[in-house]
Amino acid sequence: MKRVVLFFLFLLLVIHSASAQSLIIIDVQENGNAIWTMEEYLPLASQVEIDEWEEFIQNGQDTAQYQNDIEEFRIKIDWFLSSAEEYSNRPMDAKNFKISYDTAKTLSGTFGIVRFSFEWMNFSRTESDRFFIGDVFSEGMILSSDNVLIINIPIGYEVESVSPDFDERDGNRLIWDGTLARSFDKGEPALVLSREKTDTGIWGLVLVLVILAAAASVLLFKRKKSSISSTENNVDPILSPTATEVLEDEEMIEQILIRSGGQMYQSEIVKLSGLSKSKISIVLSKMKEDGKIIKIKKGKGNIIRLVNE
């Protein structure tokens, strides 16, 4: 039974078969390789056949026979790869050959599953962030009514072009169903995959705004630090702060004085404003020059009185 199934797999890939129930899954990797899995579904018509199949799985296969089947599988795939190399003019290789067995019970009956798998090195041609798939199919492919081909494309990629068009798509699974029978020309199925384009416009704007806000904060901090340093180093206090800063601070001090009835100790203004003593001294000196306030010496402190205009 196993030899018949293996021979059919080869016919399905290279020539054509109209009687097998088969599933071919090609997992395309981002490095250009692909994991091929071929599942053959063998109808188990009676309980006797089911029991014999289950017993075969449980007891395992003879090691020598298994190695012989693997080698036979490898030889047939190597032949297929040689044809693909010649057609595509690209070097290729295959490794990690495996054969496994399983049972599937469905509404239509019970099936024994023979699963073949291997890794196809350099399966797809890569160019920058694009994949080109198809030049390995030197003889095309024919799907009968019981065959299904599935190509799983890498996450984060989209289909730029495909020939022939797939029958169904399930996420990253592209499915060609042979229910009505179909044939592929040489070099088909052919796909071009490219990285998905993400809408970065709004996020780009957000990033720019964040950068500008951070730059503004740094600049404001430097200006405040510079004004304090210039006062401590006996630099002319009137020329050190910017005009905008002085006006803003003057308005704040005026509001503090108004809320306190028009006058307040200078030390209290420092506490309520949150500004440094040197910064308050600079602003009050400017306000005094402009005739907005008067300073009254009382003990060790100063009373600041707002001038009524």
Q: What is the pLDDT of residues 216-233, one digit of tens each?
A: 776 666 666 555 555 545
- Higher pLDDT: 246 or 15? It is 246
Q: What is the pLDDT of residues 98-136, one digit of tens each?
A: 988 889 888 878 888 888 999 999 999 888 888 899 888
> Encoding tokens for residue 64?
């020598």
Is residue 40 predicted with pLDDT exceeding 80? yes
CA distance 26 to 38: 9
Burial category of 119 from C-beta neighbours within 10 Å (exposed 0-12, middle 13-18, buried 19 and up) = middle
- Higher pLDDT: 200 or 39? It is 39
The pLDDT value given to residue 261:
82
The pLDDT value given to residue 36:
93
CA distance 149 to 173: 10
Q: What is the pLDDT of residues 141-156, one digit of tens each?
A: 777 777 889 999 998 8
Sequence-ordered list of residues with C-beta below 8 angstroms from that of 250, at least 6 positions apart, any chain: 283, 286, 287, 292
Model confidence at 4, in pLDDT bands (50, 70, 90)?
Answer: very low
The pLDDT value given to residue 239:
39
Is residue 237 predicted with pLDDT exceeding 70? no
The pLDDT value given to residue 248:
81
| CATH architecture of structural domain 201-306 | Orthogonal Bundle (1.10)
Domain spans, the chain: 2-195, 201-306
Whole-angstrom CA distances from 58 to 6, 55, 104, 168 are 21, 5, 15, 36
- Across 38-53, average pLDDT: 89
- Across 260-271, average pLDDT: 86
pTM of the shown model: 0.57
- Higher pLDDT: 203 or 82? It is 82
Is residue 234 predicted with pLDDT exceeding 80? no
| DSSP state for residue 19 in the 8-state scheme | S
Sequence-ordered list of residues with C-beta below 8 angstroms from that of 139, at least 6 positions apart, any chain: 14, 83, 186
Model confidence at 294, in pLDDT bands (50, 70, 90)?
Answer: confident
